[in-house]
Amino acid sequence: MSQPHASRRTVLASLVAAAAGGPLLTGLAAGPAAAAGGDIYTANSDLYTKAIEGQDFARRFKRHEAFDNDKATTPSPRLSSVLAIHGGGIEMGTSELCLGIAGYLPDTLAPVTAGAPVYDYWMLEGMRSSGNTDLHVTASHCDDTVARSMAAGSANVLSLHGCTAAQAGAPAGQPKAVVVGGLNARFRQLLSTKLTAAGFQVLGGNPEDLNGDLPENICNRTLTGEGGGQLEITTELRQSLFGNFSGAGNRAATTNAEFWKFVDACRDAIAAMEAEQLARKSLFAY
């Protein structure tokens, strides 16, 4: 969220007034007919028809193969996905964090640690030399078919965003902060606890425009209906995670110790969430 937007609840209210119903939470229906706040594009599908892929924007994702031909046993399900829907030059640093949390080195895409869990990921990245914020599509209007289907098949979605310190409500002189949102209260709690323990400032108050509480938000379109988690990370905090914040190649190649502390805290939260879910009699019993 690198630019100001109208209240998401206000946007939702106007959409409800204009239409009797909306898409199923896990469906692949088209996005709303009006752009949100200052967005130029009404949805990803609108962006894809008006901007040029490979020049203005790029999409990158990885869905891991699931295969079971053993009639006697069934492996544990793949539960989590990581998203950076405003990656690249739109909300800088979120692509690299997405890859790191998913378990991959941002510069080479090699696994960070052999044998460690890896997660599905999806990113839309701004590629322009300037004006990338024009490519912003609000999270509740993300209708990319791969992103939607990935969220719909995941018990947990962690969506990474960027914001300013002012938008986050960071105290004067302490701009490096993260706002934890999303509809899954337990996931929010785990993320907040792990990030705080790692030394990061997690802000309370959950500002309305950053709290990710709309059911239509891509992070909340999950398999179980519990919703997911959303992190809004201030510019100053994102800058502090890299030796060189300018340019995608520089960011990917200059991740520092603070970057990996942030990544590990998020991965710890995902692992704890998955362990609790797998301990249930049913994934849908919550």
Would strands 120-126 and 57-62 be described as parallel, antiparallel, or unpaired?
antiparallel
Tens of pLDDT, residues 134-152: 999 999 999 999 999 999 9
* Site of tokens 């942030």: 262
Whether the predicted pLDDT of 183 surpasses 60: yes
Residue 35: pLDDT band with limits 50, 70, 90: confident
**What pLDDT does 207 receive?**
73
Instruction: Give the phi and the psi of residue 93 in degrees, each rounded to 5.
Output: 95, -20
Tens of pLDDT, residues 43-67: 999 999 999 999 999 999 999 998 9
Strand order in the sheet with 229-234: 57-62, 120-126, 80-88, 156-163, 229-234, 178-181
Span 239-260, average pLDDT = 98
**What pLDDT does 78 receive?**
85
Radius of gyration of the CA atoms of the chain, in A: 18
Q: How far is 214 from 261, CA to CA, in rounded Å?
A: 29
Whether the predicted pLDDT of 15 surpasses 50: no
**What pLDDT does 9 receive?**
40
**What pLDDT does 1 receive?**
63
**What pLDDT does 76 receive?**
81
Tens of pLDDT, residues 63-115: 999 899 999 998 888 899 999 999 999 999 999 999 999 999 999 999 999 99
Instruction: Give the phi and the psi of residue 79 in degrees, each rounded to 5.
Output: -105, -25
Contact 180, 195 (CB under 8 A): yes
Q: Specify the DSSP class assigned to residue 231.
A: E
CA angle 243-247-252, nearest 5°? 55
Whether the predicted pLDDT of 159 surpasses 70: yes
Whether the predicted pLDDT of 33 surpasses 60: no
Tokens representing 237 are 């905090």
Among residues 194, 167, 191, the alpha carbon closest in space to that of 180 is found at 191
Percent of the chain with pLDDT over 90: 80
| C-alpha torsion angle, residues 29, 4, 174, 244 (rounded to 10) | 80
**What pLDDT does 125 receive?**
98
Q: How far is 96 from 123, CA to CA, in rounded Å?
A: 10
**What pLDDT does 34 receive?**
67
Tokens representing 243 are 């030796």
Please tell me which residue, 206 or 18, carries the higher pLDDT value. 206
Q: How far is 274 from 184, CA to CA, in rounded Å?
A: 13
Residues 6+ positions from 149 with CB-CB distance below 8 Å: 28
